[in-house]
Amino acid sequence: MNALATRIRPPMLAAGRGLVLSVYGLAVSITLFVLAVLSITFILLGIGVFTTPVVLEAVRRHANQRRLWAADWSGVRIPVPYRPFPPDLRKGVTGQVERTTLLLKDPATWRDLQWLLVDMTAGTVLAVVAAALMIYPIESVVLAAGLWRVFRDDPYWYGFVPVDSQLTGLAALALGIALFHLGLRAAEPVLRAHFLLARTLLAPTPEQTLAQRVDRLTETRHEAVDTAASELRRIERDLHDGAQARLVAMGMNLGTIEALIEKDPAQAKKMLAMARESSAEALTELRDLVRGIHPPVLAERGLGDAVKALALRLPVVTEVTVELPGRAEASVESAAYFAVSEALTNAVKHAGGDRIWVDLHHGEGMLRISVTDNGGGGARIGSGSGLSGIERRLGTFDGVLAVSSPAGGPTMVTMELPCVLS
């Protein structure tokens, strides 16, 4: 019984979702398409300047809702192609005119309107089929159970079966069982086909994807230059305030020792011990500084062992799983290492958990890293946060960062970097 329920549940769920799409989705698509056409037409009268941004924003929310359902219900990812508004967009009438102009110049706006047309026609047909394959067979059961008596004088057509007797009712039931078995196999693929059809218009075109990637790489390049300059200043500051100061002090001590070595050998011996301690401390600081630039274990043993060594120094129990059949480029390994280091530091400082899991693996040309903790959750990417720094670091290599951190935890930080292992 449990096995039957497990087999039936996904197709029935797909049928219910198809019913939602065929009713709610159809109604909203028709309404928004009519309002959008009227609003754009009324721009010539001046009224549309105020209504068009509102209507087109509603269209985008409707499209984004469909993107969300596509990902949650069928695993179909549909990227968002919309151009961002400039941060200094003016207010008032002038701002409304500018906003309307920007919306109408965005190719994604017109593709959204095309999608509304497709959604209310072919998209609705696919949604109805996904629902009907599992719901329509129920009618055959009701007909065979006795509803056929209502249609003795005027046969009721169930599919291609005219129902007006118990025998034809059983024939309808047989057809319904066949449709039910077809629905078990086809309901989910048909629902997925609905979302794949939507993706043909809602996803960015190759030209848009290329433009977005160029913009993203330009932005991250500037951030990488700023980060490199900031890192250089930090190294200079650490050298000036740390190792350099100790070496200068050690040189002065050695000069004093030269003057005291004959007059006061005991004092000279004490100062030699102090100089030796200063040299050891300076060496330690230099090693820490080098480790902060590029850890030796990363260069010698690779990303997996470097992350394991990093985990051993944490005050929280950390499990590291590594499935890397080779090594990435040194720059990619370095970016991944410091991204993991920052994520672990955030987890230790802010999560409040007592366990961390790190997983590193490579597949489909992507280095995928996840850092999960059992803390209180609530982490998010924001201005000035450590996660924002990770996002900028990964963005330099066309990588992405995703954070799942509901209230109460757990928190999962997922990083992806395109690379080839050697």
The interaxial angle of helices 107-118 and 166-202, nearest 10 deg, is 170
Residues 32 and 104 placed together within one structural domain of the fold: yes
Contacts 24+ apart (CB under 8 A), 259-266: none
Task: Check residues 11 and 70 and name the one with the higher pLDDT.
Answer: 70
Type of residue at 114: Q
% of the chain with per-residue pLDDT over 70:
77
Task: Please state the domain count of the chain.
Answer: 3
Give the pLDDT band (50/70/90) at residue 213. Answer: low
pLDDT surpassing 80 at residue 42: yes
217 and 147 assigned to the same domain = no
Residue 197's pLDDT is 92
The verdict on 19 and 111 lying in the same domain is: yes
| Residues 318, 344: Cα–Cα separation, whole Å | 9
Same domain for 133 and 151, yes or no, is yes
Please determine, for residue 35, whether its predicted confidence score (pLDDT) is greater than 90.
Answer: yes
In the chain, % of residues over pLDDT 90: 11
> In this structure, are 273 and 308 located in the same domain?
no
Q: 41 with 87, same domain?
A: yes
| pTM > 0.75 | no
- Identify whether residues 273 and 335 lie together within a single domain: no
Residue type, 192: R
Picking from 202, 225, 250, the residue at the C-terminal end of a domain is 202
206 alpha-carbon distance from chain centroid = 20
| Whether 378 contacts 366, CB under 8 Å | no
Please indicate, yes or no, whether residues 194 and 331 belong to a single structural domain of this protein: no
Q: Which of 171, 202, 233 is the last residue of a domain?
A: 202
C-alpha distances in angstroms, 21 versus 121, 320, 416? 12, 43, 33
**What three-state secondary structure class fits 160?**
coil
The CATH number of the domain holding residue 365 is: 3.30.565.10
DSSP letters, 72-84, are HHH-------PPP
How far is residue 186's CA from residue 133's CA, in Å, rounded to a whole number? 8
Look at 1-5, 194-198, 335-339, 340-344 and tell me which has the smallest mean pLDDT: 1-5
Q: 232 and 114, same structural domain?
A: no
Q: pLDDT tens digit string along 319-364?
A: 999 988 888 888 788 888 888 888 888 888 887 888 899 999 988 8
Which of the four pLDDT bands, split at 50, 70 and 90, describes residue 12? confident
For the residues 239-258, what does the mean pLDDT come to? 66
Bigger pLDDT: 233 or 192?
Answer: 192
The string of pLDDT tens digits covering residues 277-302 is 767 666 666 665 555 555 677 778 88
Q: Tell me which residue range forms the domain holding 97.
A: 2-202
**Residue 172 pLDDT level (bands cut at 50, 70, 90):** confident
Q: Is the pLDDT of residue 227 over 70?
A: no
- Residue 195: per-residue pLDDT: 92
Measured from the Cβ of residue 203, the count of other Cβ atoms closer than 10 Å reads: 19
Angle at CA of residue 38, ends 33 and 40, nearest 5°: 95
pLDDT at res. 158: 67
Whether 236 and 267 share a structural domain: yes
In this structure, the answer to whether residues 11 and 142 fall within a common structural domain is yes
CB neighbours of 324 closer than 8 A, spacing ≥ 6? 302, 303, 304, 360, 361, 362, 367, 421
Residue 21 has pLDDT above 70, yes or no: yes
Nearest of 314, 309, 288 to residue 297 by alpha carbon: 309
Please, which contacts does 304-310 make with residues 24 or more away whose CB atoms are closer than 8 Å? 304/360, 306/333, 306/337, 307/337, 307/340, 307/358, 307/360, 310/337, 310/340, 310/341, 310/344
Last residue of a domain, one of 236, 262, 293: 293
Specify whether 47 is located in the same domain as 152. Answer: yes
